[in-house]
Amino acid sequence: MIDTSTRSGMNDATSRWTSQELATWRALMETTGDLRRILGAQLAEECGVSAADYQVLLALSEAEGHRLRSSELAASMDWERSRLSHQLARMDKRGLVAREACATDKRGAEVVLTAEGLTQFRACTMPHLRAVRKHFADALTPAQFAALADILGSLRRHLRPEDDTP
Amino acid sequence: MIDTSTRSGMNDATSRWTSQELATWRALMETTGDLRRILGAQLAEECGVSAADYQVLLALSEAEGHRLRSSELAASMDWERSRLSHQLARMDKRGLVAREACATDKRGAEVVLTAEGLTQFRACTMPHLRAVRKHFADALTPAQFAALADILGSLRRHLRPEDDTP
DNA sequence: AAAGATTGATTCTTCAATCTTG
DNA sequence: CAAGATTGAAGAATCAATCTTT
């Protein structure tokens, strides 16, 4: 049923798939999971926003006029539409964003960062970057950083071959 | 408002903290997020279990007698107790695990893998490993694997200095 | 009181169904 | 009908009680 000897032609290369590499896979999931939790908790405690909130605030703050079509916002974060809708509903209720009808396309919605949302985001930025530096960047040497960037590039090209970004 | 030139005193060390490293951080979160989603979707579609289900089944399948104290199971996966309780309640309802009173400590609960749970787990294993190989391992060279293991070791020691595992 | 475990409330994510406009 | 977006229900994660046993 499952013939591990004829995977994809290259057999010298496939013999690399060892328990050590499985351990590396598990370590990757575990360590990045830890980082997610730690940084998420830091944002929640110090800034009162979730990681998802921060991601939305970041994307809007980088947009022209602090405003984006809902679909563009979703695409820029690679989120599903419904997830974004729910998220925006919660952020709207808290006054961090506002939703307006789109002028050119009456189906569409535009999402705008409110003044309060911008203030919140600005208050988050430095504490968050400090936490990323403390828990992530401070652990690695410049050489490790370079190696990691290279590895992530390989993974990304493997996962999304169509993406043109280098 | 935000003065990036006077961060926290140490300027030789912090000068490494560049936008390139921020990009690496973002790429790490994005790419590992993608991997999580892809592998989670694969488990759900091909095997009918969530990533969390799989993690519990894996831990129990590796335990002596396919049985663990609830607290030990939580510790081995580094989960919070309440999260595990909810998870086990759902898996119990589906017949994948059973919970029994602990003989030696009447407060405790023992979690046992059922025959159905074991069957489910065994049916998951090969498809899951194949997917990990396809989406993750096949993307990296042996040198990249070695570098990644090294990087994850550094991160892990940085995040959990108390852990004795090398 | 502290440890082991569960429960309920809240928030977040996903899926399917819906509604409106193009 | 297809595209843009929202909604409701169900599953999953987190936090603060709660309950029992040590």
Predicted confidence (pLDDT) per residue in B43-75, tens digit: 998 899 999 999 999 999 999 999 999 999 999
Give the mean pLDDT of B27-36: 94
Tell me the percentage of chain B whose pLDDT exceeds 90.
80
Q: How far apart are CA B103 and CA B108, in angstroms?
A: 8
Check CB contact under 8 Å for B159 and A34: yes
pLDDT above 70: residue B114: yes
B54 CA to D9 C1' in angstroms comes to: 25
pTM: 0.87
Check CB contact under 8 Å for A2 and B126: yes
Confidence of residue B84 (pLDDT cuts 50, 70, 90): very high
The mean pLDDT of chain B is 88
Best residue in A148, A154, A160 to probe B by mutation, most B CBs within 10 Å? Answer: A148
Instruction: Find chain A residues with C-beta within 8 A of B12's C-beta.
Output: none
Write out the DSSP string of chain B. ---TTSSSS-HHHHTT--HHHHHHHHHHHHHHHHHHHHHHHHIIIIIS--HHHHHHHHHHHHSGGGEEEHHHHHHHHT--HHHHHHHHHHHHHTTSEEEEE-SS-TT-EEEEE-HHHHHHHHHHHHHHHHHHHHHTGGG--HHHHHHHHHHHHHHHHHH-TT----
Give the mean pLDDT of B92-107: 93
Instruction: Find chain A residues with C-beta within 8 A of B14's C-beta.
Output: 133
Best residue in B11, B37, B46, B138 to probe A by mutation, most A CBs within 10 Å? Answer: B138
Give me the pLDDT at residue B161, please. 77
Residues of chain A with pLDDT below 70 are 1-16, 162-166
What are the tens digits of pLDDT across the range A54-69? 999 999 999 999 999 9
Is the distance between the Cβ of A57 and the closest atom of strand C smaller than 7 Å?
no
Give me the pLDDT at residue A20, please. 85
Confidence of residue B165 (pLDDT cuts 50, 70, 90): low
The answer to whether A49 and A120 are in contact (CB under 8 A) is: yes
Check CB contact under 8 Å for B137 and A27: no
Strand B97-101 and strand A67-69: the pairing is unpaired
